[in-house]
């Protein structure tokens, strides 16, 4: 097993900074990447940070994380729709933390269901970019087996 963690981002997260800032805040995805790099370094992890708008590519990125120390996954809208992504997370057997910037439970009912939650180690939502930092910290204290 490597010491690398993969932070994977789904659709529309490339637009952070200008996308519905009243919900998602003013930070860009590059700002969140910088935060993740600092947090990963603090815990002695190497970091892979990626974003895609495509469901199939996100499945590929999860598969590519096989053997990694952990995954922090903000699957964005695919959280609520994708059986394929859930199957990929279950298949790779890498400890995965589901994260969201917003508190999805305080929003529309369709965001209350996650296909991913049953197959991840835990879920962190509602803390803005800190959700990612908390996800990395959670991996640091999560047994690998
Ligand atoms: C999100 C919440 C999802 O419901 C939404 O589709 C997103 C972002 C979040 O980080 O708050 O795109 O995952």
Per-residue pLDDT tens for 18-72? 999 999 999 999 999 999 999 999 999 999 999 999 999 999 999 999 999 999 9
135: enclosing H helix or E strand: helix 130-140
Q: How many domains is the chain built from?
A: 1
CATH at residue 129:
3.40.50.9100
| pTM score above 0.75 | yes
Strand partners, 73: 8, 98
DSSP summary character for residue 91: H
Instruction: For residue 63, give its domain range.
Output: 4-140
145 lies in a domain?
A: no
Q: Which atom of ligand 1 is nearest to the CA of 102?
A: 11
Q: Kindly give the number of the ligand 1 atom that is closest to the alpha carbon of 10.
A: 12
If phi over 0 gives left and psi between -120 and 50 gives alpha, with beta otherwise, what is residue 125? Answer: beta
- Pocket lining: 94 vs ligand 1, CB cutoff 6 Å: no
């Amino acid at each position: 097993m490597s010491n690398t963690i993969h932070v994977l981002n789904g659709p529309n997260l490339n637009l952070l900074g200008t996308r519905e800032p009243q919900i998602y805040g003013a930070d860009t995805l590059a700002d969140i990447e910088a935060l993740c790099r600092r947090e990963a370094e603090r815990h002695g992890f190497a970091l892979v940070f990626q974003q895609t708008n495509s469901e199939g590519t996100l499945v590929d990125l999860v598969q590519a994380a096989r053997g990694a120390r952990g995954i922090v996954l903000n699957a964005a809208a695919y959280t609520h729709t994708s059986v394929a992504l859930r199957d990929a997370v279950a298949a790779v057997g890498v400890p995965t933390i589901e994260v969201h910037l917003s508190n999805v439970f305080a929003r529309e009912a369709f965001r209350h269901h996650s296909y991913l939650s049953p197959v991840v180690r835990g879920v962190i939502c509602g803390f803005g970019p800190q959700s990612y930092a908390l996800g990395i910290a959670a991996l640091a204290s999560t047994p690998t087996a």
